[in-house]
Structure 1
Amino acid sequence: MDIEQVVSMLQEVAEAAAPPDFEQRFGYPPGDNHVVLARDATGAAALQAAFPGKVPPDVAAFFTAVSEVSLPDVWNAYFIGPVSWTIELHKASEPRYVRFEDADREVMILASNVGGDMFGLLVAPEGSMLAIPAAGIENGVHRADTAGAPGYRPIADTFGQFLQRLAQAALAGEPDPFDPHRR
């Protein structure tokens, strides 16, 4: 993942999310679409401390460059980070694990949308990104193996792929590629 390219694409998405005629077209003012650049590697260091030995290089590189992304006017809104949110969700077990195929797998939630859906990374060794619909968290475990969790699925092999696909689809005007309720 070329972090500079991904950050540049996300900044372009934020700028394009609210064109000058946004309020006229939608009937309400645009939200605050922005990418907050990190001042230092504090975010990546905090993730490393919270998930020792489990933070993939692409996640560390992203949160070394970016503190958070807010895209309220892109599809059903997308929010990535901040790291403090990821760490607090994990500490509070909201969720900490995802259960599927009869096993609980640790997850690091990195993004969400306004619909309450989360997008998380399976913590080592798997490393793939998952769409996790807002449903079925029991004792810190998202029960992906229940009928109440439709839409749960792997969506990207890595966090970097998730970011690239998100930015590419938004810039191309495509439908939300990660909507857990769309297959």
Structure 2
Amino acid sequence: MAAEFERRHGFPPGPNQVRSADPDDQAAARALAELDLASADLVSLYDSIGDITWADVGNGYFVDPLPDVLLRLKEYDAVGDGMGEEARGLVIGSNGGGLCYVTGPSGVVYRTRTASLDEPGLDRVADDLRQFLQLLEDSLTRFVANGEPGYL
């Protein structure tokens, strides 16, 4: 993606990477496992992946580092609007347009309707984390192939 980016867009790419989890990330994943707010898949993801930063795919896609997720939880509490049977969820990332991705114990992934977490309104975007990651990969693939952003 980075090799063609500057030719296509006329400026160099920003950070675009999937960073492997380091020991601090893995310790945070163990702490996450003790909360009632995360699916086993999310804990597994953060045990192996530190974060995803695709700043140039469309407006950008970001799966935040777990220490940031836990700090946001501590400072602002969990998000709960529109999550149906799930009482609360964690903000795990965002797109470059200011919308956030939220997931809870069942693993369903939602996207906020606004950039505000006060009363964000949530729309379901994936049935589970695996499907969400597949949608991210599809967005990257489409962007590399023809420069079109995904709409996740």
For 2:48 and 2:78, how far apart are their aligned partners in 1?
25
Q: In the alignment, is residue 24 of structure 1 matched against residue 18 of structure 2? A: no
Total equivalences in the alignment: 146
Q: What TM-score does the superposition give when structure 2 sets the normalisation length?
A: 0.81
Q: Is the 8 A contact 2:109 2:125 kept in 1?
A: yes
Q: How does 1:1-183 map to 2 (within 5 A)?
A: 16=1, 18-19=2-3, 21-40=4-23, 41-49=26-34, 52-93=35-76, 96-100=78-82, 105-121=87-103, 123-124=104-105, 126-138=106-118, 142-144=119-121, 152-173=122-143, 175-178=149-152
Q: Is the 8 A contact 2:79 2:102 kept in 1?
A: no
Seen in structure 2, the aligned counterparts of structure 1 residues 102 and 112 have a Cα distance that, compared at 3 Å, is closer
Which stretches of structure 1, 4 residues or more, deviate above 4 A after TM superposition? Answer: 101-104
CA drift at 1:67:
0.7
Distance 1:79 1:70 in 2: 5
The runs of 5 or more residues in structure 2 that have no matched partner are none
TM-score by length of 1: 0.69
Q: Report Cα offsets for 1:29-60 as digits up to 9, x if no partner.
A: 111211111134223113224xx243212111
Structure (1/2) with the larger helix percentage: 2
Pairwise CA RMSD of aligned residues? 2.5
Q: In 2, are the aligned partners of 1:70 and 1:78 still within 8 Å (CA)?
A: yes
2:87 partner SS: strand
- Percentage of pairs with the same residue: 25
- 1: CA distance between counterparts of 2:83 and 2:47? 34
**Do the aligned partners of 1:35 and 1:68 also contact (CA within 8 Å) in 2?**
yes
What are structure 1's unaligned runs of at least 5 residues? 1-15, 145-151, 179-183
- How many Å separate the matches in 2 of 1:130 and 1:32? 25
Cα gap change, 1:102 to 1:163, in 2 (>3 Å): closer
